[in-house]
Amino acid sequence: MIKEVDYKKLKRSFDISTIDLNKSVIDSPTRPLIGQDRALEALEFGIGNKGGGFNIYVSGYPGSGKLKAVNHFLEEKAKVEEAPGDWCYVNNFKDPYCPKKLALPKGGAEIFRDEINKIIEEGKQMLIKAFESKEYADKRQQIISEYQQQEVGLFEDLYRKASVNNFIIQRTPIEILVIPVDNAGNPLNSKKFRQLSEKKRKEILDKQTELHNELITLLKKNRELERARHSSLMELEKNVALYAIETILEELKEKYKNFQDVLSYLDEVKNDILDNLEEILVSQTDVIEGIGPERNKKFIKYEVNVITDNAKLEGAPIIMELNPTYNNLFGKVEHESQMGTLITNFTLIRGGALHRANGGYLILPLKELLLNYFSWDSLKRALSNNEIVIEDPGERLGFFSAKSLKPDPIPLDVQIILIGSPIWYYLLYEYDEEFKELFKVKAEFDTTMAYNSRNVKDFAGVTYKILEENNLLPLEEKAMARLIEQAARMAGDQKKLSLKFREIRDILHEADHYSRLDSSKVITVSHVLKAIEARYFRSNLIQEKINEMIKRNTLMIPVSETRVGQINGLSVIDLGDITFGKPNKITVSIASGKLGLVDIEREAKLGGKIHTKGVLILQGYLLEKYAQNKSMSLIASLVFEQSYSEIEGDSASSAELFAILSSLSGLPIKQGIAVTGSVNQKGEIQPVGAINEKIEGYFEVCKQGSLTGDQGVIIPAGNLDNLMLKDELVQAVKEEKFHIWAISNIDEGLEILTGTPAGKLLKSGSFTKNSVHALVDKRIEALNSNIMPTEVKKTPAKSKKKSVRKRQS
């Protein structure tokens, strides 16, 4: 007879008294990634190995603490690295729609911006002062006077010649006239001119033409003088301006003599100032109504737009962008509304997370990255080209948009750490060719770690850190032991601890709440237990409703008596915040026929693929066990009673097989014993998941009536290490009010359920007399005998001869 599982093996009580958990000797945590040696090794290799596609994919399930752990690990690595320099954008005086980038040392961007602003402000004052000086006025007047004298000398001979020939030269606003005069110096009018002889008129006209032509020639020379005068004045202004601003610029050029881009920019600023002196010297500020506070638009082109400022940064930057939209990653070019029109300039360029992380590390959640349009493809392009391009996303789709800027791309030197679940990694690796080239390092986080003294210290260290960071009450030693026990239950293994510290933190918060309600100065074991039970109670309404239906026999689940071809299998319901076990009545009907096993769930399209596979395995078991020397002709109809949703999984396949064998043998099954476990074609019982929830779920059902001492659960022997049952259930087993058996094969389960030996196959091909297998084999033979062979109708000889003759004819 199979022995029951000893109650001492139904859970593990953790004795941590021998482990030094003194907070003063625990570094919280003692290592960046506790229990994550595999992930730690991957991160050690990947971090700092920038370029060549050695970006990192951190794979793990939610709640495993991977994000916080990676961030902590990066902080330790990044602080010993050199901080990157700054980046800024400045005006491109040749093409304002393509702003130029400038690279500056750490903290240099803000300083450079202030220096440029200071130069422009000082330059304006110095220019105004220079152009208002007496020296400038004297030199300007000297130039004007010199050219005026040349102009007078240019026309002096012409005026004299005109006077000798009785002509005067008269200037009007629109022209210069050569007018003949009489001896008294009065202009000849038309009447007097007509009274002159024809010869005299001709002489006057010829002379007038001659003087006019000379005048035109002199006017051309005069215009050249004016241009020369203007050039001289402009040269004077440039020399004065150059003298005024070059002193300031020279100091700045000396400072940035090793930065060629900065020197080029300073020269461009100087040239633009010299080319626009008149505009700069205008004192009146342009004001445009309706666009905000008054500001001088003329000097925006000399501003410096700081994109990244790492002045206060110690070590390499670590940026975590939890909302990786395209603009948040790559930056954007903003626009302003002016008179109903969108305008922009280089000062409206805004950097993104890639700019801030440049030279360091950028942590991104993969799911959110994939959900945002353009983000994933643009990130891959940036990593492949090693540059950050700021552009309007609409342009990539060919949409019409307002004219925008195309800033210089900024070189990219960053290591991307993607945080995501394992399924995303496998999908991207399979279907995205660029992913495997860009993310060559996989750091996979486990959800559990082995139970040993080092890991217990680490677990306690993280727990103390949670208490400290959240200002929670201290935890007594017994409460810590109970929390470790809960971690083992969460892991579903007596030899492991869960690393889902998010759930551990929630338990501590709730335990702290109950502790303060009791005016306690520490969190005790009772507070931890109350927190665990309260969390379960808030979520188990559906379980209670199902149990109530079982109690009222709305769901017919018998937990006493014995019945043929009927058994209670155990399933599990996962609602997200709670997982609980539920018994299911499985029945089997046997009849003669050729259909074999009929899975009603499959026929009704309520059975999943794994469940269907489990049923087909049962058929394989029956064929190997009972059809070695004979055929097997039967119909076995199998169903989960009162089940109206899809059935998936094979954890009830052993229960289904027990029900089939009971129906074939005619031996009744004890209804107080529920079964869970999958089976293979050789009759071996295989481990299943959620074993604790299944046992506790059935225990709750039995406890509703009364525990008779005949009730219990059969589980796979391979699940013994997974048992971390509630104290109440362990106590019931100890008092023999409830039982748990662990079996390795079908035969062991048959003996427990029927009280009859399973039997062994003898050399003769039969089974042990009066055993379960013998009864099953006998029933199969009886079913086979009910199937009559098909009769072959014989044709009478006479008819046969006629047909032969007919064929011969």
> Beta strand 562-563 with 669-670: parallel, antiparallel or unpaired?
antiparallel
Terminus-to-terminus CA distance in the chain, angstroms? 79
In order, the DSSP letters of 238-288 are HHHHHHHHHHHHHHHHHHTTT-HHHHHHHHHHHHHHHHTHHHHH--SPP--
Query: If we measure between CA atoms, which residue out of 158, 107, 560, 454 comes closest to residue 309?
Result: 107
For 782, the 3-state DSSP assignment is helix
Catalytic residue among 59, 375, 651, 654: 651
Q: Which residues contact 159 (CB under 8 A, 6 or more apart)?
A: 169
Torsion of CA 693, 698, 703, 705, to 10 degrees: 150
For 444, the 3-state DSSP assignment is strand
* 107's tokens: 């903290």
Residue 739: its H or E element: strand 739-743
Catalytic residue among 625, 694, 726, 737: 694
Q: Which residues pair with 589 in a beta bridge?
A: 637
Neighbours of 444 (CB within 10 A): 15
In the numeric block, the tokens 């399924």 are attached to 423
Residue 529: its H or E element: helix 525-537
694 noted as active-site residue: yes
Helical H segments across 642-724, by residue range: 653-665, 691-705
Per DSSP (E only), the strands in 358-495 are: 361-365, 387-388, 410-411, 415-420, 441-444, 448-450
* 633's tokens: 């002709």
| Contact (CB, 8 A) for 636 and 565 | no
CA 459 vs CA 44, 452, 456, 472, 661: distances in Å: 22, 10, 5, 17, 48
User: CA-to-CA distance for 46 and 43, rounded, in angstroms?
Assistant: 5
Residue 205: its H or E element: helix 198-255
User: CA-to-CA distance for 230 and 232, rounded, in angstroms?
Assistant: 5
651 noted as active-site residue: yes
Using alpha carbons only, how large is the chain's radius of gyration in Å? Answer: 48
Q: Which residues pair with 88 in a beta bridge?
A: 102, 306
| Contact (CB, 8 A) for 607 and 650 | no
What are φ and ψ of residue 208, in 5° steps?
-65, -40
CA 793 vs CA 232, 785, 801, 805: distances in Å: 132, 21, 17, 21
Torsion of CA 180, 184, 189, 191, to 10 degrees: -120
Query: If we measure between CA atoms, which residue out of 689, 523, 479 comes closest to residue 14?
Result: 479
Break the chain down into helix, strand, coil percent, rounded to 5: 50, 15, 35
User: CA-to-CA distance for 197 and 201, rounded, in angstroms?
Assistant: 6
Query: If we measure between CA atoms, which residue out of 463, 435, 714 comes closest to residue 567?
Result: 714
Catalytic residues: 651, 694
